[in-house]
Structure 1
């Protein structure tokens, strides 16, 4: 039987045995490499995926690149009628320039130290991106590490304009978004545009923004002054180019040594890049920047003085801007006003002449406006550096200067079919209803029975007391006062008939409605506002019919007699002016107050308001800031009337205003000239009863729907912006509205149903 062959056995240490033993480790090593590679690839893919997801998450709220955000805008400025700045903030200055204005050497120096590859990169640097991404990863491992990377000018611009210079934003999120926005920036704008955006956006110390602003601040130069390649110009441009990295550290006013060192660093870089010669380098290096440094704070002080010069005017402009909902300090507006510096200054200089004053402490406030409601002059006090605007303060009584509106105007308007300029009134002492207090005329004189025109011209108090309390009543007074924007309280009586706490601005506006035969025009300061997008809003006059033309003409006729020799404004007479009228007012002291009277016995305040046909309305107040302890304004003092007269002559400049044209609704009863008696034929009695009209102009507070119900007004009109009443009252429309007749409105009881 044949035996089976035995399996071959490798002899220990034989060559075959050795090869077998070597094969096993080799296969293991190959497997390890394969598996390691696969794991590494997997980890890398996870890392890429994680980074992609991370970047995607950071880009969720990525803003769009828009020129509106990239541009630097100057702060709100107020300009006169010739485009000259009369107000702008003093704490910061912004000046921008075009690409063509950027000095060549500054441009070269800036790119040499900030972004050498600016002209060729795509908005970012590859090496900078690698550094940034690595930093982002490491910052997740070590939270104390702040990622860094070489930012291009594009990225710096994005940081400045979109991320407030980096303040208040997470560094990693910001840098990721900066990268993508910088790429968008490069794709949508030319390099010239990007560089211009950048140099205009740079913020420096001393309140300056923009390269143009800082070279003016330090050296008093413009970009055009750097056209010549002089050692001084090279040194200053090198310094300015290196300043943006640390504006405070290198502030030439505070750290001249560090500033010059920074200049040397930039000059060295320019020399290394062969942008300047050795001679230019050495000469510029030797120049001490402090030699050309101008006085510190000179710009802000100059602007402060300019602001102060027209402060009383620009304060009103700023108030109007704020009423529109704008915050001037937070928005860029170019506000064009009506102010004519030559006219304005001539008024201010005239007001401050010593001849019109009793002493150094006496104050005079003035508002002057033309027929169109444009305020041409406003003086808040005697001293140019006095920041208190007394022209708009409404804490002093007007005295008798408002009697045309508190008594005679409504009497003619509503009851002119019964009363005319020849109607006689009792001028004896008048006892206030329900009291034992007595109203007296100036000087405690009585004149017997006096005509309406003489009562107004002589400014008789007791006649006004009887008209207001016994004939008109509070509601008629209120409605008429509202028409000329003098409605300042809930109810009225004879007490208010002889004095309202108003300003010269309110006074001038009210009397200007007489100049315009009953058309009230709100005071006008702003001509137009230009916005950053180039659009412009023009401001048209805000007008309303405050009274009939016939009422206004009759008041003018009576008031023309005031600046005449026999009446209260004799010192203000201008004989050659036929169309010239006015009204005086004085305010006495309470019985228990008796201030010193070195110049004679008198009162605490004196007023005179005058107006000329197609000319100007001028309201003047005079007194002391502390009347109860200051000298009395003597009854013999007429300086304020003389000043008003001289201002009318100044402003009308040789013209002789004619008399106002008499409307057909005014009937002559007899007499001639100033002594003529007239009556109106279109009087409409308001016939008020118990209606209490709200004192406010705010449409929401009026709640008219509660008064007239849905029978007249649409239900819920105050909440509907589309309703015509909404904008009407929002704009301060007359009360009651023109769309609802006065007669109908005043017949409506509080319940709402028409009688």
Structure 2
């Protein structure tokens, strides 16, 4: 079997052994956008590598390095006994230093590639390497190839990064620290994890004593020195900036996360081909960080998270995880799920399911009348603190009225709404509640992908950034998102048609986002401060502001707000709630210039009708309206059995030409959101709120972003409130 596997082993060359192990990232056009590690490495020849470092590496990695021929049977037996007995006994793993070099030079480090075949080929190639190269050369290759954390490859470069010194100026404890790092560069980072770095360094010193290259006293003296002593506060060999680095910061961070999720490591010489549209990414970055778009941000602390996807395949084309900050060292707000999405939840949790499961027409009568959650004294209100009586579903969605949304969700039922969301790729750790109908804890990536299903006629594609990975041995893995039917084409079309009005109707909440002449649809969302904090901010202020919109070519979702919304002057004023819309408008108008501008086509089973001068739609066979809150709801001419949590609806014989509407039932809920959704008329002042702007004008870009989210805003469930009872709003 060994012979069979070895016969198919890949070729190994001097170039592969000596080259850096950087991973290259490409955009959608095949252009290199980043190289992790290659630009940082300073290669050092064997004669310039200090003897102490060589001794440290051999002692901790392969004590019998100078005695074996690439594979060490004694070492393998020792490792096997150690594994069986559960005692390390000072023994090491079965792989020799030469085998480790082969693995780094030829094979993928993906967990899925840890097979018997791969180990056999690795052993055979290690024997070949030992036949062609001296021990000194092999050690030179290894010391120059290993990953040392922080985007640095090779121990010479690591010495300059961590100590601002060359190898020949390091001390014994510093040699020991570097020699121990390759096993786990992240865990043994002396800046971040000094305790683990100290333990590993001391382990190396003990191995050197056991290998008789230093004395017990030398080891003890070295152990007495802090592992953080002499660490550099500036990094001469930090990862160098490329032309595209500032633009792709957020996208690259998420790509690396996705790469790790697939079982790859970035220090394995990969070629990673992404779906990045670099022009769209640059535009998104510039709008977020520059002034050319004409958007006035209240301060540098004002943040955003945005994701752009292709609705026809799920490819993530661009991603912005913040502004005035380097996302690689902190939170990527494009994928955070700690902020409520406000009224952007209504199409995907309330009205979409109502059309899908209850066959609501776009002119379905819904009640905008006083509403209190069952079992509580919490009332649902709208931004204007008024009621409009019975209105159509279209009007309720266009103007983002909250009470009709909650009543609609109540009729649909949370279980069916949860099923609808699951079809859109969303799962939640705890059961959803009625108040989630006006606020879900989801990311801009999830929101953009869910609205994309409206755009393409009802198919959900899981968003993804990586389309292809090529390993050092030439093996290529391709990736794509398999489309899944999430809703009927009728549901997608009717929601899209209503969401157009959000941007075009004079009373629509998202008119500031409208791109003239472009066929598009979208939805706003804002969240209000909880009752116990409302007196500390202006009554019309918001915590979060969202906009999610789409064309047939793109779906773009944007969150705006402050990382620590309970700090002074960290609220969003009414005029600032339109910033998310302005970002959308600037980006969407730019990326749509050379794309076909086509409208959505009505599916065959959708019927158009005129009501009050407005073109409305219903699903064929359901020409009337559905009454509220009855196990046997009535439509004009038909009785509709709501039945169980099923997308099917049974139609029986016609009864009458009148529709009945009974009073809405209520559902038990312990928390109740207070609501706020201003109508954006597109003519609002773009200037920042004066109090916020004046106090934040000197704030640094990273002053408020060291933590992912403010501790006071982390929800312990998926409901419309967080652990402190902070209420979310549309």
The CA distance in 2 between the partners of 1:191 and 1:654, in whole Å, is: 59
The CA distance in 2 between the partners of 1:594 and 1:437, in whole Å, is: 15
Instruction: Identify if the C-alpha distance between structure 1 residues 433 and 162 changes in structure 2 by more than 3 Å, giving closer, same or farther.
Output: same
Alignment of 1:158-169 (within 5 A): 160-162=97-99
1:483 aligns with 2:429: no
Contact 2:37 2:239 survives alignment (8 Å): no
| TM-score, length-scaled by structure 2 | 0.58
1:593 aligns with 2:536: no
Aligned with 1:574 (options 496, 511, 515): 515
Aligned with 2:331 (options 370, 375, 388): 388
1:463 aligns with 2:404: yes
The CA distance in 2 between the partners of 1:486 and 1:640, in whole Å, is: 23
The Cα of 1:584 is off from its aligned counterpart by 0.4
Aligned to 2:591: 651
The CA distance in 2 between the partners of 1:186 and 1:426, in whole Å, is: 75
Over the aligned positions, Cα root-mean-square deviation in angstroms equals: 4.5
Aligned to 2:447: 507
Alignment of 1:553-568 (within 5 A): 553-564=493-504, 565-568=506-509
The Cα of 1:163 is off from its aligned counterpart by 7.1
Structure with max Cα Rg = 1
1:369 aligns with 2:309: yes
Contact 1:476 1:686 survives alignment (8 Å): no
Alignment of 1:660-699 (within 5 A): 660-670=600-610, 675-681=614-620, 687-688=643-644
The Cα of 1:164 is off from its aligned counterpart by 7.0
The Cα of 1:343 is off from its aligned counterpart by 2.8
Contact 1:77 1:333 survives alignment (8 Å): yes
The CA distance in 2 between the partners of 1:188 and 1:672, in whole Å, is: 83
The Cα of 1:346 is off from its aligned counterpart by 2.0
Aligned with 2:278 (options 331, 341, 363): 341
Instruction: Identify if the C-alpha distance between structure 1 residues 216 and 322 changes in structure 2 by more than 3 Å, giving closer, same or farther.
Output: closer
How many aligned residue pairs are there?
A: 485
Alignment of 1:96-245 (within 5 A): 160-162=97-99, 201-204=141-144
The CA distance in 1 between the partners of 2:517 and 2:363, in whole Å, is: 26
Alignment of 1:292-311 (within 5 A): 298-302=236-240, 310-311=248-249
1:622 aligns with 2:578: no
Aligned with 1:607 (options 546, 549, 554): 546
Contact 1:670 1:677 survives alignment (8 Å): yes
Alignment of 1:1-20 (within 5 A): none
Alignment of 1:418-567 (within 5 A): 419-469=360-410, 471-564=411-504, 565-567=506-508
Provide, for residues 217-243 of structure 1, a one-character-per-residue CA deviation record: whole Å limited to 9, x for no partner: 79xxxxxxxxxxxxxxxxxxxxxxxxx
The CA distance in 2 between the partners of 1:339 and 1:582, in whole Å, is: 23
Instruction: Identify if the C-alpha distance between structure 1 residues 194 and 523 changes in structure 2 by more than 3 Å, giving closer, same or farther.
Output: farther
- Secondary structure, in 3 states, of the residue corresponding to 1:310? helix
The CA distance in 1 between the partners of 2:126 and 2:267, in whole Å, is: 29
The Cα of 1:658 is off from its aligned counterpart by 2.1
Contact 1:309 1:385 survives alignment (8 Å): no
- Secondary structure, in 3 states, of the residue corresponding to 1:366? strand
Gaps of 5+ in 2: 49-65, 68-94, 103-120, 159-163, 172-233, 623-639, 648-730
Provide, for residues 599-621 of structure 1, a one-character-per-residue CA deviation record: whole Å limited to 9, x for no partner: x83211111111012x2111111
Provide, for residues 682-719 of structure 1, a one-character-per-residue CA deviation record: whole Å limited to 9, x for no partner: 8898732699xxxxxxxxxxxxxxxxxxxxxxxxxxxx
Gaps of 5+ in 1: 1-59, 97-105, 111-127, 130-157, 166-180, 219-247, 256-295, 692-755
- Secondary structure, in 3 states, of the residue corresponding to 1:646? helix
The CA distance in 1 between the partners of 2:126 and 2:522, in whole Å, is: 68
Instruction: Identify if the C-alpha distance between structure 1 residues 199 and 306 changes in structure 2 by more than 3 Å, giving closer, same or farther.
Output: farther
Contact 1:473 1:492 survives alignment (8 Å): no
Instruction: Identify if the C-alpha distance between structure 1 residues 370 and 298 changes in structure 2 by more than 3 Å, giving closer, same or farther.
Output: farther
Provide, for residues 505-553 of structure 1, a one-character-per-residue CA deviation record: whole Å limited to 9, x for no partner: 1111100111111011111200101122211111122321110111100
Q: Which has the higher contact order (CA 8 A, sep 6+)?
A: 2
1:312 aligns with 2:250: yes
The Cα of 1:388 is off from its aligned counterpart by 1.9
Contact 1:87 1:307 survives alignment (8 Å): no
Provide, for residues 716-751 of structure 1, a one-character-per-residue CA deviation record: whole Å limited to 9, x for no partner: xxxxxxxxxxxxxxxxxxxxxxxxxxxxxxxxxxxx
Contact 1:618 1:644 survives alignment (8 Å): yes
The Cα of 1:592 is off from its aligned counterpart by 1.3
Contact 2:468 2:476 survives alignment (8 Å): yes
The CA distance in 2 between the partners of 1:539 and 1:327, in whole Å, is: 14
The Cα of 1:650 is off from its aligned counterpart by 1.0
Contact 1:90 1:300 survives alignment (8 Å): no
1:322 aligns with 2:260: yes
Instruction: Identify if the C-alpha distance between structure 1 residues 396 and 208 changes in structure 2 by more than 3 Å, giving closer, same or farther.
Output: closer
The Cα of 1:297 is off from its aligned counterpart by 5.3
The CA distance in 1 between the partners of 2:22 and 2:41, in whole Å, is: 10
Contact 2:321 2:331 survives alignment (8 Å): yes
Provide, for residues 278-328 of structure 1, a one-character-per-residue CA deviation record: whole Å limited to 9, x for no partner: xxxxxxxxxxxxxxxxxx95453316997675342223222222333x151
The Cα of 1:644 is off from its aligned counterpart by 0.9
Instruction: Identify if the C-alpha distance between structure 1 residues 543 and 200 changes in structure 2 by more than 3 Å, giving closer, same or farther.
Output: farther
The Cα of 1:636 is off from its aligned counterpart by 3.0
Aligned with 2:36 (options 68, 88, 94): 88
Provide, for residues 424-462 of structure 1, a one-character-per-residue CA deviation record: whole Å limited to 9, x for no partner: 111012111222221112221211211111111011110
Mean alpha-carbon deviation: is it higher for 200-209 or for 634-643? 200-209
Aligned to 1:410: 353
The Cα of 1:590 is off from its aligned counterpart by 1.2
The Cα of 1:476 is off from its aligned counterpart by 0.9
- Secondary structure, in 3 states, of the residue corresponding to 1:589? coil
Instruction: Identify if the C-alpha distance between structure 1 residues 409 and 385 changes in structure 2 by more than 3 Å, giving closer, same or farther.
Output: same
Contact 1:519 1:543 survives alignment (8 Å): yes
1:632 aligns with 2:571: yes
- Secondary structure, in 3 states, of the residue corresponding to 1:603? coil
Aligned to 1:251: 167
